[in-house]
Amino acid sequence: MQIIKAIWDFFQGQILGMKWLNSLIGEGLSALGLDNANRWVGGLQFFIYDVIKITVLLCFLIFFISYIQSYFPPERSKKILGHFHGIGANCVAALLGTVTPFCSCSSIPLFIGFTSAGLSLGVTFSFLISSPMVDLGSLFLLMSIFGAKIAIIYVVLGLIIAVTGGTLIEKLHMEKHIESFILTAGGVDITLPDLSKKDRLIYAKEQVLSTFKKVFPYILLGVGIGAVIHNWIPEEWVTTALGSKNPFGVVLATLIGVPMYADIFGTIPVAEALWYKGAQLGVILSFMMAVTTLSLPSIIMLRKAVKPKLLALFIGICIVGIIIVGYLFNVLIALIV
């Protein structure tokens, strides 16, 4: 058991967390005659380390996930979902969401396509919630900072929110609150080509390049904010606002995160800096969920497809679910860390 634990700790710390890289960068800065105790130098080290770490993980994860995704294009996903009914269909839709695009805006066109094709509204909303919130990338990135237990629980609770939210929308029969052009569009039955292994590798490579170009500016912004928090924001400020002394920290973090636009790769460095400064785990994860699931651009896009009442219900379900998850993590923190 000790050997297994040692191997896992090495994988989590040195492979996912790349602690060796942080040490190497620190030694390199020292070799240049810079004082690592200086805030500016410490901020520079944090920035270089996190940009490289997240970029490497980003490219690897996008390639891996895109290769898997090549087996689940929209038409095939629609056919898979068509074989399931009830809560089982919601569960499958939520799971399919984990191998689809990395941000909320990218998920909207697929949601519209699934709805136009005649899939159950609750099923399509389960997909829409899970796709940005709990993709496979989030699992590995969270593992690199918080460990496997927290990462797995985060993904499981995210899937529960997706399934519960979709089921609730289904039970409330909100079909009349879909814009008419979506309901009358109909689906297009496309014959799916059989891709060769080479085709799938090319597709995965193209997805890496395309996604990297879109995401990299947000990585730089997120790491920059993380560096400021890590080296300039006093720890007592963070613990006062987002620590255990503030019972409304989860609500505050959720409401702050909603209007922002980023994906999991942009929020990770901010979460990492807040974690090291003493913010509560539930507060951090609520912020991440809110940013990735309910960005303002995605809400504006979704409004084109659904009417205000359904949009408000979707936002309300996500906010309440995220807040519940945040407080649950705060309660369970002693057991999972």
Quick check: 101 pLDDT over 60? no
CA nearest neighbour of 296 among 324, 257, 249, 266 = 257
- What pLDDT does residue 264 have? 67
Residue 167 above 80 pLDDT? yes
End-to-end CA, the chain? 19
Q: Are 75 and 189 in contact (CB under 8 A)?
A: yes
Q: What contacts 337, CB < 8 A, 6 or more positions away?
A: 147, 149, 150, 281
Contact predicate 292/263, CB 8 Å = yes
Comparing 138-152, 229-243, 305-319, which segment has the lowest mean pLDDT? 229-243
28 band by pLDDT with thresholds 50, 70 and 90: very high
Please state the length of the chain: 337
Give CA torsion, residues 308, 310, 311, 314, to 10 deg. 160
For residue 163, the model assigns a pLDDT of: 92
pLDDT grade for 304, boundaries at 50, 70 and 90:
confident
Q: Which residues contact 143 (CB under 8 A, 6 or more apart)?
A: 12, 16, 151
Of the candidate ranges 28-37, 110-119, 245-254, 316-325, the one whose mean pLDDT is the lowest? 110-119
Rounded CA separation 276/231 (Å)? 11
Joined together, the tokens standing for residue 178 give: 């879909």
Taking every pair of Cα atoms in the chain, the longest distance, rounded to a whole number of angstroms, is 67
pLDDT of 83 strictly over 90: no
Decide if pLDDT at 102 tops 60: no
Provide mean pLDDT across the span 127-155: 80
Quick one: average pLDDT of 118-139? 80
What number of CA atoms fall less than 13 Å from residue 271's CA on the CB side? Answer: 29
What are 239-269's pLDDT values in tens digits? 677 777 788 889 888 888 776 666 666 777 8
Rounded average pLDDT over 125-142 = 79
Domain total for the chain? Answer: 1
Q: How far apart are CA 329 and CA 126, in angstroms?
A: 22
116 compared with 153, residue with greater pLDDT: 153
Residue 192 has pLDDT above 60, yes or no: no
The per-residue pLDDT for 189 is: 47
Please report which confidence band the pLDDT of residue 193 belongs to, taking 50, 70 and 90 as the band edges. Answer: low
Tens digits of residue pLDDT in 210-232: 878 877 887 787 788 778 777 77
What local confidence, expressed as pLDDT, does residue 75 receive?
Answer: 66
Burial bucket for residue 209 (CB in 10 Å: 0-12, 13-18, 19+): exposed
Task: Give the orientation angle of helix 39-69 with respect to helix 136-146, to 10 degrees.
Answer: 150
Domain hosting 132: range is 2-336
Mean pLDDT, the chain, integer: 79
The proportion of the chain whose per-residue pLDDT surpasses 90, expressed as a percent, equals 7
User: Does residue 190 register a pLDDT over 50?
Assistant: no
Neighbours of 179 (CB within 10 A): 16
